Amino acid sequence: MRRLYVFDTTLRDGEQSLGITLNVHEKLEIARQLVKLGVDVIEAGFPASSPGDLAAVRTLARELKGVIVCGLSRAVEHDIDCCAESLREAGYPRIHTGIAVSPVHMAQKLRLSPDQVVETAVAAVKHAKKYVGDVEFYAEDAFRSELPFLVRVLEQVIEAGATVVNIPDTVGYATPWEYAEMVTYVMKHVSNIDKAVLSIHCHNDLGMATANSVAGIMAGAGQVEGTINGIGERAGNTSLEEVIMAIYTQRNRHGISTGVQTREISATSRLVARITGVPVPAHKAIVGANAFMHASGIHQDGVLKERTTYEIINPEVVGVPKNRIVLSARSGRHAFRHRLEELGYHPEHDNLEALYQSFLQLADQKGEIFDQDLHALLGDSGSEE
Ligand code: KIV
Ligand code: ZN
Convert the pLDDT of each residue in 342-357 to its tens digit: 999 999 988 999 999 9
8, 6, 22: which is closest to 278 by C-alpha? Answer: 22
Separation CA 205–CA 200 (nearest Å)? 16
Closest Cα to atom 5, ligand 1: which residue? 140
Res. 148: pLDDT tops 90: yes
Separation CA 259–CA 223 (nearest Å)? 12
Q: Which atom of ligand 1 is nearest to the CA of 166?
A: 7
Confidence of residue 383 (pLDDT cuts 50, 70, 90): very low
Res. 263: pLDDT tops 80: yes
Helix (H, G, I), strand (E, B) or coil at 311: coil
Ligand 1 site residues (CB inside 6 A) read 13, 138, 140, 166, 168, 170, 201, 203
Neighbouring residues of 41: CB distance < 8 A, sequence distance ≥ 6 = 5, 6, 7, 8, 67, 68, 69, 70, 94, 223
Residue burial 309-329, b: 16+ Cβ < 10 Å; e: rest: eebebebeebbbeebebbbbb
Helix (H, G, I), strand (E, B) or coil at 45: strand
Cα 310 to ligand 1 centre (Å):
37
Cα 384 to ligand 2 centre (Å):
54
Confidence of residue 380 (pLDDT cuts 50, 70, 90): low
Which residues are known binding-site members for Mn(2+)?
13, 201, 203, 237
Sign of CA dihedral 123, 124, 127, 133: negative
ipTM for the whole predicted complex goes beyond 0.90: yes
Of all helices (H) and strands (E), which one includes residue 278? none
Cα 10 to ligand 2 centre (Å):
10
Res. 385: pLDDT tops 70: no
